Structure 1
Amino acid sequence: MEENTEQRIDLTLFSEKIQELKDRIASVIVGQEQTVDLVLTAILANGHILIEGVPGVAKTLLARLTARLVDADFSRIQFTPDLMPSDVLGTTVFNMKNNDFDFHRGPIFADIVLVDEINRAPAKTQAALFEVMEERQITIDGMTYRMGDLYTILATQNPVEQEGTYKLPEAQLDRFLMKITMSYPSLDEEVNILERHHTNTSLVKLDNVVPAITREELLALRALMGQVFVDRTLLQYIAMIVQQTRTSKAVYLGASPRASVAMLQSSKAYALLQGRDFVTPEDIKFVAPFVLQHRLILTAEAEMEGYSPVKVTQRLIDRVEVPK
């Protein structure tokens, strides 16, 4: 019984920290509450995030701001068509002083890495992220270099139909815990944005944002994930949703077991964000579309009928009976 009380105290401190993070994000970015919730959920669940949206909807700003609010090493890589893998990972250089080779670390070495416009770089540079995203390490010239415990990639991409973009391969998309689509602001939100810019008084500059949480605190919060209770019926619920993606006529390629694990981790993290130490079916329903949408390949017929992965995912979730 004592353990339970202790955990509750942890969760109150936790809730305060999360609220502080959300308030500071809201002081810079108007609206996008759901997106902010999802980004925090993914970071807590120890997963990488892909943020998609048309230019100008504050994708990069949100990623930079989130990284700034965590007092950790931050690095930003702007992907371009001429970017080489060595520009990302680093290079081995001969040091004439000691007659040996030194490894010069690339920008991929940081706690939180913002990869801007990930679909602007060619396949070989995108592939350079493969090992580092899954294994949290890179191997160059036979030497292995490990990343830190917090290691998270926040990647932004423009919609694929845009000029000069390369579609990310399925295998790499699968390595992102979530894909979040940032939409246009509502009319009221847009007016709010214009008011902030017009008066200039309520505009908070990124440089003035003070970190709200340390690297150690974030890792301690992550450790709480192990104490979140998930009923067996909910594990079955997750498995049944993923099974639906494999049997649906609208889906050419369904989700893998990695998607099931991602859904479990995300729902546990989201439950914690809500101040709870147990998962509900609603948590699973909330995170499922964002965990699944980038892992499904629709059939040509479904695409021609105007279905999107999100729509299909939503339908498949609704088909599964919610456990009581």
Structure 2
Amino acid sequence: MVSFAQDLKKAIRGRLNKLTPENYDKISKNILEMEVDTEERLSAIVQIFFDKAVDEPIYAPKYAELCKLMFEKEVPSASGTGKASFRKLLLDRCQATFEKEKKDEEEIVSKQKALEEADTEEKKKELQMELNERISKTKRIMLGNIRFIGELFKLRMLSIKIMNFCISKLLKSRDEEQLECLCKLISTIGKTYEEEYDAKYQRAVAESKSSGKQPHMQLTKLDVYLDEMKKLSQSEDLSSRIKFMLMDVLDLKQNRWVPRREGEKPKTIDEIRGELEKERLEKELLSLEEDIIKQPQMGYPSQRRDGGRDDERKKS
């Protein structure tokens, strides 16, 4: 039997599949008007926003905005006592994202071991394909989640303390996949992180003046992490691809977090229509070319040499 929560998920996904910059306000209003009065339904929405942000990274900022609209939403807890909040469910999902990475790594290691122990070429080929697919999927999910977490922070739904933890964890691993996530995260949050750190530092200085104590910060300045990334960019143990990514982040910082080239953005309805029209015309042209090729070749009279009919007359 299909539950109401499942029906709700289907309805929300259907609307989000039609999301464009022009209809964002209409669709977000429509979603907010839906009946979400249980923890199961509220949790389902959090899951959908994360899943969609991973599947459609260019829409991650829009899905973060939707989370902001629902951030204060509360419903009766499934336990029967107290309230379940969108805020808490969102934080739990972010934490679960990092915990799941460990399980994914263990699964990949297990598949690698099975590949090494395979006794036939056919089995090795099959396991290698499975391993490649798993690694590709894990990487896509990791990068999508980390960008979405960054977008949530930019809208002040996650604290700078959480970002501090995420950066530190990713930087310590020295794993290339983790370092790629680190580059994605800092590229996303760098400007906001520095602004929030500076604001907290100014408050700490003001408090220290009134108390007579030295300002105390439990956060790490972003420059400390960037210095470590600069050292890594010169490491011989990392691939050129990752070293270039690290240098791109450092370059972004030097340019005051303004990208030198504009990133991919969600397409407008007019752009989508234009692409569809272009695709239609290309198909028509291809079909026309195929029809021409299929037509039988028409025969032409062969040209006579040495003057043709005039020569024949001379012979007669």
TM-score interval (norm. to shorter): under 0.3
Larger radius of gyration: 2
- Given the two structures, how large is their TM-score scaled by the length of structure 1? 0.23
Higher relative contact order (CA 8 A, sep 6+): 1
- Structure with bigger helix share is 2
Structure with greater strand share of residues: 1
